[in-house]
Amino acid sequence: MNAHSAPSENFDSLQTGERPNASDGPSAFEKPPEWIKTFYKRYQKLGKYEDVIGSDLVDLDARPESHSTLSAQKCGEDVIKELEQLHQKFSKFLGRCLDCGELDWSDCRHSEQKSAAVFELDQIPGLFIYSNLLPPHVQSNLLDKLLHRDLANPEHQTNVHLHYNVSYPASHPDTDGPGSFFDHTAKNLDYSPRESHAAINTERFLDKKLRWITLGGQYDWTAKQYPPEVPPDFPSDIKSLVEDLFPMKAEAAIVNLYSPGDVLSVHRDVSEECAQPLVSISVGCDAIFICGLESQESDPGHERIAAIRLRSGDALLMSGESRYAWHGVPKVLPNTCPEWLQDWPVVGEHAERFQDYKGWMKRKRINLNVRQMFASEANGDAAVGEISMPNDAQAKKKDGTCTL
How far is the C-alpha of 321 from the C-alpha of 324, rounded, in Å? 7
Q: Which amino acid is at 97?
A: C
Instruction: Give yes or no for residue 8 having a pLDDT over 50.
Output: no
* Nearest Cα residue to 118 out of 245, 243, 237: 245
Query: How far is CA 204 from each of CA 8, 187, 188, 210, rounded to the nearest angstrom?
Result: 49, 10, 12, 8
How far is the C-alpha of 401 from the C-alpha of 403, rounded, in Å? 6
Number of other residues whose CB lies within 10 A of the CB of residue 66: 12
* Binding-site entries for Fe cation: 267, 269, 327
**349 band by pLDDT with thresholds 50, 70 and 90:** confident
Q: Where are the domains of the chain?
A: 8-17+28-80+115-158+211-403
Enter the CATH code of domain 8-17+28-80+115-158+211-403.
Answer: 2.60.120.590
pLDDT at site 114: 60
How far is the C-alpha of 353 from the C-alpha of 356, rounded, in Å? 8
Instruction: Give yes or no for residue 9 having a pLDDT over 60.
Output: no
pLDDT at site 365: 99
Phi, psi of 308 (to 5 degrees): -125, 135
Instruction: Give yes or no for residue 141 having a pLDDT over 70.
Output: yes
Q: Which amino acid is at 98?
A: L
* Nearest Cα residue to 134 out of 345, 313, 389, 317: 313
Top pLDDT among 9 and 322 is at 322
> Mind listing the pLDDT tens digit for each residue in 166-192?
999 998 766 667 799 999 999 999 999
Q: What residues pair up with 318 in beta bridges, in sequence order?
A: 127, 278
Q: Which amino acid is at 157?
A: Q
Please, are residues 285 and 363 in contact by the beta-carbon 8 Å criterion?
A: yes
Top pLDDT among 90 and 72 is at 90
How much is the average pLDDT of 127-141?
95
**273 band by pLDDT with thresholds 50, 70 and 90:** low
How far is the C-alpha of 156 from the C-alpha of 272, rounded, in Å? 19
How far is the C-alpha of 402 from the C-alpha of 399, rounded, in Å? 10
**17 band by pLDDT with thresholds 50, 70 and 90:** very low
pTM, rounded to two decimals: 0.82
Measured CA angle at 58 (ends 53, 61), to 5 deg: 70
Please, are residues 236 and 145 in contact by the beta-carbon 8 Å criterion?
A: no
Mean pLDDT computed over every residue of the chain: 79
Instruction: Give yes or no for residue 12 having a pLDDT over 50.
Output: no
* Nearest Cα residue to 348 out of 176, 181, 110, 136: 136
Please, are residues 163 and 194 in contact by the beta-carbon 8 Å criterion?
A: yes
* Nearest Cα residue to 389 out of 139, 34, 15, 44: 15
Q: What percent of the chain has pLDDT over 90?
A: 46
Among 135-149, 255-269, 331-345, 373-387, whose mean pLDDT is lowest?
Answer: 373-387
Letter string b/e over residues 242-263, b meaning 16 or more CB atoms within 10 A of that residue's CB? bbbbbbbbbbbbbbbbbeeeeb
pLDDT at site 23: 46
* Nearest Cα residue to 205 out of 178, 172, 166, 171: 166
* Nearest Cα residue to 343 out of 203, 163, 140: 140
Instruction: Give yes or no for residue 10 having a pLDDT over 70.
Output: no
Top pLDDT among 47 and 179 is at 179
Cα Rg, the chain, nearest whole Å: 21
* Binding-site entries: 267, 269, 327
Q: Which amino acid is at 222?
A: T
